Chains A and B, each alone.
Chain A
Amino acid sequence: MENAYAQALWRVIEAGGEANASVKKMHDSLARSARLDLWPKIAHAFKRLAEVKRRQSLMTITIADKAHDHSMRNAAFNELVELGIDAGNIETRVDPTIVGGWRLEGRGHLIDASYKKYLLDMYNRSVGIVFSDN
């Protein structure tokens, strides 16, 4: 129930509704129907929803070494432009297991230009050759 209220509130605000007025309207509506006990739950549900939406709108670039942050970001940005994807906010994450290169993930997209991916690709192809020859 609280999730449905939180979703409704999110949509009203997203559609251009004024935040304070929308919240007040919902509060009054709940008060009228004697359901104000839901109010704290709705607040928590709204918080969770906001976090999900924030995560969904966020892009994360993973790099192996912080020193290469700038050049990797530029490469990733160029790739996004080429694919016609709006860059928006990009968070940086350092993960040495990708060996090198970069990996951009978020908003339903994954662009993998990490060395780990290339090396794994080569390894899998080589394994394929070994199997097909046996």
Chain B
Amino acid sequence: MDSSTVEKIIKEIEGYTPKAEHVHVGRVTAVGDGVASIEGLSKAVMSEVLLFEEGRDKDLEQAMSEESDLYGLVLNLEEDGVRATILGETSRVHEGMTVRSTGTILSVPAGDELLGRVVNALGKPIDGRGPFKNISMMPVERQASGVIDRKHVSVPLHTGIKAIDALIPIGRGQRELIIGDRGTGKTTVAIDAIINQKNEPEDNRPICIYVAIGQKESKTARIVQQLREVGALEYTIIVDAPASAPAALQYLAPFAGVAIGEYFMDAGKDVLIVYDDLSKQAVAYRELSLLLRRPPGREAYPGDIFYLHSRLLERACRLSEEKGGGSITALPIIETQEGDVSGYIPTNVISITDGQMFLIADLFNKGIRPAIDVGISVSRVGGDAQTKAMKSVAGGLKLELAQFRELEAFMQFAQDLDKATADRISSGQRMVEVLKQKNGEPIPFEKQVAVLFVANAKLFIDIPISKVAQAERLFSEYLDGEFASTLDEIRNSKQLSDDSKKELARAMEQFRLAHPELFK
């Protein structure tokens, strides 16, 4: 400790005037499974933070060496007291313990310092890189912005995934659900979207927040490592409420994440937030509600489970220019059981969001990755946000793929196909190959446009299906080397001009000559 710090401490001690502290208190009457019943606290309000007084009966030295403060959150107001969830270890609370009212609503720290950090659902750093210094506090529960403060979604948020950016485009301020069975690549899609923001210019790059709810610590650690390796962690914040965390923290984590996001949105920045996943949050909330003795409803979820998700996802929006023009784009994830999207939570979240992308286990097992079923996936507002360049190449793609799927089913029974049908199937098969993408390798938007342009122009039609992926990769590299200016032009103008089209056609011809081995 340097001398200036010591001086500051001495000054602090000299200037300290002891003053009796008056607070409202209650007493723990029962505790179990993360929930405490507290008598008294007649002035407590909903969502108020309570402080469990652990230092009582401990001597000064023990009190000084105590772990961090233990807080609770009021969730039920009852006749003679309150029920609160314990935001920490239940074992630290005992019957008869004094509980202080703090008069504050739960808030989490937010600020630029959080970038690149891993925090828990209360915003406390858990990555061992020390505490935050200059931070603001943001309320975990906040009313979503009203219609007057909002602006329609018109700016694209590129995910770097061809199938999404072309067919189910996402706009900044949109809520797009990622839904599918376990192991179908939901998290991968979301993480790729985060990684792809690296391709955005720094002044336009969204801040990314990944909220891990009820996930294995090993999975979150792997994601952090992946983001660090590709240089995406510097603009990303991880909010972690692992499976081992109390249900209360798992329930709070998405709200903490969006509260942090609101700090940046209020500052006029764009934010991309991933909730991975809301099914687990719903389960945590169900557990909490049952322990709080709230009446159970369908599938034992409490009556306000819809409100839980709607009030969370409504906070994702695009603000008007008067309000700074910031936005929060939400990518909630829902895990289905055996592809059943008619479950209670999936239908709720589908109805709240502005579209959904279905990830199908069958496609995944067939090697079509990302395993997005473009036939049943939709983006209700993203079309307005799609760039002209992408619109011009993606226009007929969805229809072509839908027709291909129909013919593909028919093909299994038919022996002889007429030439038109056979061509359509052949083209569809190659388009499916073009839309395949390895995980962790998002593609910049201008390159997607170029690849889809040449795919539409049937560059890949003469290439065996097994070599389409290789040809696409080589063409991509070829563009980087020989036609970088064309890519720049598409990126900057966001349009596919006639000149660019001519250049891409030329690139296609030159590529054909440069790689004759790929063509039949």
Interface residues of A (CB under 8 A from B): 52, 56, 79, 83, 95, 97, 99, 101, 105, 108-113, 116-123, 125-126, 129-134
Q: What are 24 inter-chain pairs, A to B, with CB distance below 8 A?
A: A56-B39, A79-B20, A95-B57, A97-B59, A108-B24, A108-B42, A108-B43, A110-B98, A110-B100, A111-B20, A111-B21, A112-B21, A113-B21, A120-B55, A120-B60, A122-B12, A125-B12, A125-B16, A126-B12, A126-B13, A129-B12, A130-B5, A131-B131, A133-B2
Q: Is B479 an interface residue (CB 8 A)?
A: no
For B5, the chain A residues whose CB sits under 8 A away are 129-130, 133
**Are B24 and A109 in contact (CB-based, < 8 A)?**
yes
Q: Which of B13, B25, B60, B130 is within 8 Å of A109, CB to CB?
A: B25
Q: Mark B1-20, 1 if CB is under 8 A from A, else 0.
A: 11011001100110010101
Chain A residues positioned under 8 Å from B268 (CB to CB): none
Q: A108-B40, A120-B60, A125-B12 are in contact. List 4 more A-B contacts (CB 8 A).
A: A110-B22, A112-B20, A112-B21, A133-B4
Bound state CA distance, A117 and B20, in angstroms?
9
Chain B nearest Cβ from A53, distance in angstroms: 10
* Minimum CB distance partner of B96 in chain A: A55
Check if A123 sits within 8 Å of B4, measured CB to CB: no
Question: Which chain A residues lie closer than 8 Å to B58 at the CB level?
Answer: 97
Interchain CA distance A108-B12 in the complex, whole Å: 32
Known: A52-B39, A133-B4. A108 touches B26 (CB 8 A): yes
Measured CB to CB, the closest approach of chain B to A73, in angstroms, equals 14
Measuring CB to CB, which residues of chain B are less than 8 angstroms from any residue of chain A?
A: 1-2, 4-5, 8-9, 12-13, 16, 18, 20-26, 39-43, 55, 57-60, 63-64, 98, 100, 130-131, 133
Residues of B within 8 A of A129 (CB): 5, 8-9, 12
With contacts A97-B59, A99-B60, A132-B133 known, is A117 near B40, CB below 8 A? no
Q: Which residue of B lies closest to A62 (CB)?
A: B56
Task: Contact check, A119 vs B133: say whether CB atoms are below 8 A apart.
Answer: no
Give the docked Cα–Cα distance between A123 and B5 (Å).
Answer: 14
Task: Determine if B60 and A105 form an interchain contact, defined as CB atoms under 8 angstroms apart.
Answer: no
Q: Are B12 and A111 in contact (CB under 8 A)?
A: no
- Contacts of B59 on A, CB cut-off 8 Å? 97
How distant is the Cα of A116 from the Cα of B61 in the complex, in angstroms?
Answer: 10
**A126 vs B41: C-alpha distance when bound (angstroms):** 31
Which chain B residues lie closer than 8 Å to A123 at the CB level?
A: 64
A113: which of B13, B20, B133 is its contact (CB, 8 Å)? B20
Contact of B63 (CB < 8 Å), options: A83, A109, A113, A120: A120
Contact A108 B25, beta carbon cutoff 8 Å: yes
The CA-CA distance from A125 to B18 in the complex, in Å, is 13
A131 partner residues in chain B, CB cutoff 8 A: 131, 133
Nearest chain A residue, comparing its CB with the CB of B62: A97
A52, A101, A110, A133: residue with the most chain B Cβ atoms closer than 10 Å = A110
Q: Are B13 and A122 in contact (CB under 8 A)?
A: yes
CA of A111 to CA of B98, assembled, Å: 12
B10 closest partner in A (C-beta): A126
Task: Pick from A52, A108, A113 the residue with the most CB of B within 10 Å.
Answer: A108
| Contact, CB under 8 Å: A97 / B60 | yes
Query: A131 CA to B40 CA in the complex, in Å?
Result: 36
Chain B residues, Cβ within 8 Å of A117: 21
Q: Pick the contact of A118 from B18, B26, B100 — CB < 8 Å?
A: B18
A109-B23 Cα distance, complex, nearest whole Å: 6
Among A111, A129, A130, the one with the most B-chain Cβ atoms within 10 Å of its Cβ is: A129
Which residues of the other chain, B, contact A99 by a CB distance below 8 angstroms? 60
Q: Which residues of A contact B98 (CB under 8 A)?
A: 105, 110
In the bound complex, CA of A110 to CA of B13 (Å):
25
B12 and A109 within 8 A (CB) = no
